[in-house]
Amino acid sequence: MKKGDILFHPQFKFTDGEIGRKYLILLNNPDLQKSEPFLLCKTTSNPKGKPEKQGCYSERNLYVLDPGYDFFPEKTWIQFFEIFEAQSNELIKDHFKYGVEIRGTLREQTINALINCIKKSDDVSEYHLSFLRK
């Protein structure tokens, strides 16, 4: 797995306890020798109250992709108000238990633009930013 990979998790557990199907974007290439975590953020195709124009909305913790621009056939909002951490063993376990798999990869230009957008957010912790600056 590498930065920009799009994972599909058929039984993703949300912070409110709900479970559902979710696409996740891998934000970094962790140093597994140092047990660094994979950083992931969620996506949604629900347009309610969200900007329409493709690009960075760091003040809203969103990055918008137009339909068909990268992997997603519908307009997609990448949400980074929550960044999720996972260790490699957790992702492997979820692969075998739930069928988590890589479904696509963002273009290098897109993942770099997304990470630059995340770096502009006031809501992302310095801890998470330290992994994105590498």
Domain of 49, CATH number, reads 2.30.30
Q: Which burial class, exposed, middle or buried, applies to 121 when counting CB atoms under 10 A from its CB (0-12, 13-18, 19+)?
A: buried
- DSSP at 36: P
Number of domains comprising the chain: 1
Residue 132 DSSP SS3: helix
Closest CA to 105 of 21, 8, 22: 8
Residue 14 DSSP SS3: coil
The pTM score is: 0.91
pLDDT in 10s for each residue of the chain, 134 residues: 899 999 999 988 888 888 989 999 999 999 888 889 999 999 999 999 999 999 999 999 999 999 998 999 999 999 999 999 998 888 888 888 888 999 999 999 999 999 999 999 999 999 999 999 87
Owning domain of residue 67:
5-132
